[in-house]
Amino acid sequence: MKASIRTIIQISSLATLAALCIYLFPRYTNPFKYHFEIGQPWGYSLVTAEYDFPIYKPEAQLEKEYAQAMLDYTPCYTLDTQAMQSDLYIVPIQEMERIQQTNCTHISIISNRISTLIAIDEIYTPKTAYQLTKKELVPNLSYDSITSLNIKNNILSNISLTHGVVQTGEKIIDTGEIVTEDKYQQLISLRRAMGDKSISKRQTHYSMIGSSLCIVLLLTVFFLYLKTYRRKLLDKLRHVFFFTILMGIIIAVAAFVLRYAPTGFIYIVPFTWCPIIARVFYDSRTAIFVHLITTFIVSLAVPAPYLFILIQFIVGVIAVISLRDMTQRAQLAQTAAFILISYSVLYTAITMLMAGDISDIDYRYYIYFVINAILVICSYGLIFLFERCFGLISNITLVELTNVNSNLMLAFAEKAPGTFQHSLQVSNLATEAAKRIGAKVLLVRTGALYHDIGKMSHPNHFIENQTDVNPLQSMTTSEAAKQIISHVEEGEHIARKHHLPEVIVHFIRSHHGTSVTRYFYNTAVNEAIANGKTIADVHKEDYTYPGPKPSTKEAAILMMADAIEARSRTLNDLTEQSISDMVDQMIDTQVADGQFSETVLSFKDLEDIRDVFKQKLIEINHHRISYPTISQ
């Protein structure tokens, strides 16, 4: 894919995520962005009234006044004079139950536009009327809902919602002042006034522009991070799509919760999915960076954004530190436990800090944190899904692949036992080299186990599996070379048949790079010269592996370990000097042949790898003492 097209797709992907964020949130709600608590100092600059606004009464005070006013309320009933069979006032049994639930002592009876106040004790049901008169009487009172509602509204409308006015230019609160109950109510009233449509309409446009610019800037920073420090991730679109979808899922869930659920429910959202899943497939720095960008975007819409950022940042970092290299499913449970503890401790500490009293702790939040931890454990399903969808590979999968008791490995050991033992030795060598230079140890180990799996198709073509006749001796050099080279293609076919990850397939395809099968090529050249021909008469491409060359440190380590382990078996004199010379020769040949031109191996890496191979081969092939026999 051309670089320009790839760049357009990359930018379009992040632009789509930005559009999603802008659409979902932050919705313009209220320009009042302060967070405050009673008893805490005001942490912002001076606030003065830009216009007159009323001071609203607290909800508790209004409820008390409503309750007091409703003591004078009496429901209204219409008297049906035609149904009057006695001087008793009779209502249906269901209506009597409703009257008793209102706690009213009297009702108003309207007859001929005249209202009469009657005590509840004077109202009867058909049953109680019968017990009194021994007659079957029908109800003659019916509830007048319209008149009753008008009376109730008139009573409540006389209660004022406010108790004072803040004048334009009046000081409300200044930096460092303690938020008292009166100041708190003034600030609440200011927030309510600023939320009025007639006031906030003029600010809506600019607020949306500001929020959109923040989102675009945050995603641009993330793009620049990838471009500067993780260029390889940016160059492959599947990684860009991975980050876009992962962040989009968390942001969408958070937007849904903020829009439809109570405020505290935002802490049920598993924001640590971002760092956990990113850390499983990538490095810690990238995981934390993804988490921060996601948290910053969501913070534009949550109440108390600074506290939200603080809590999510600390919890995210703890999640990454506790997870590190995940090789077991149980590690997710451990990480979830650390996340639960972190949320709980942070919430308790911050509440005590701001409120100055442990009684203000809302214990429902601890339930939210438990649900969050459970969702963290459930992220294993997402890890598997992302792994399959984006061709990524986790350490858990690598551990499963290194199981030599799997069906594929058992078949490998049975059909090509010599090659299987060779693969184990290569795996050990490559693992030690990877440790030395800081490469991915588990990935190298797994790739080494599978790199020669194509030899299962024709195991007797390879000397390590032969016990008698070598079938290649009856072939021409080019035919023999073709058979040897074909194990790469066969290995790829077997790997795909068994659904091995793409990164393992790369090890299989690249472990010989574009090198030449020297034995057969040199033999062909010698035969050509002996028959009076030239080197040009030998088609070198017939003896060359198709590639590709290794593109990672891990693949390069495997190429070196494979060649050196195989060559070490040909040494007749296994001394430290012969092993050292052999290692140097093999690596120098591969370097000169340009096999590592597409990797980022440094000269220091190559020297360290040489030292490891020499040391390990010497340890493996050291001489043992001969056991004496018992003389007769």
- 227-251 confidence digits (pLDDT tens): 999 988 888 888 999 999 999 999 9
pLDDT on residue 361:
81
pLDDT band of 28, cuts 50, 70, 90: very low
Q: Is the pLDDT of residue 215 over 80?
A: yes
Q: Are both 258 and 364 inside the same structural domain?
A: yes
CB–CB of 618/576 below 8 Å? yes
Residues 277 and 370 in one domain: yes
pLDDT tens, 439-489? 999 999 999 999 999 999 999 999 899 887 888 888 899 999 999 999 999
Q: What's the pLDDT at 198?
A: 46
Q: Is the pLDDT of residue 103 over 50?
A: yes
The structure's pTM equals: 0.70
Structure letter (DSSP) for residue 92:
-
Together in a domain, 232 and 380 = yes
- Cα separation of 347 and 354, whole Å? 11
Do residues 485 and 517 lie in contact, with contact meaning Cβ atoms separated by under 8 Å? yes
> Among the three residues 390, 422, 450, which one is the final residue of a domain in this structure?
390
Residues in the chain: 632
418 and 334 together in one domain: no
- Residue 571, pLDDT above cutoff 90: no
Please check whether residue 288 is in contact with residue 274, taking contact to mean a CB–CB distance below 8 angstroms: no
- φ, ψ for residue 50 (rounded to 5)? -85, -10
Q: In a 10 Å sphere around its CB, with 0-12 CB exposed, 13-18 middle and 19+ buried, how is residue 197 labelled? A: exposed
pLDDT of residue 209: 82
Question: Do residues 384 and 432 both lie within one domain?
Answer: no
Which of 390, 423, 445 represents a domain boundary (last residue)?
390
Which pLDDT tens digit goes with each residue over 111-143? 888 888 888 888 899 898 888 888 888 888 888
Residues 121 and 210 in one domain: no
Q: What domain range is 226 assigned to?
A: 3-26+200-390
Contact yes or no for 108/76 (Cβ under 8 A): yes
Q: In this prediction, what percent of the chain has a pLDDT beyond 70? A: 94
Q: What is the pLDDT of residues 384-401, one digit of tens each?
A: 899 888 888 888 889 889
d(CA 325, CA 438): 14
381 and 400 together in one domain: no
Q: Are residues 153 and 219 in the same domain?
A: no
Cis peptide before 26 (omega within 30 of 0): yes
Question: Is 201 a residue whose pLDDT tops 60?
Answer: no
What secondary structure letter does DSSP report for 628?
P
Number of domains within the chain: 3
Q: What is the mean pLDDT of residues 47-75?
A: 85
Residue 197 has pLDDT above 60, yes or no: no
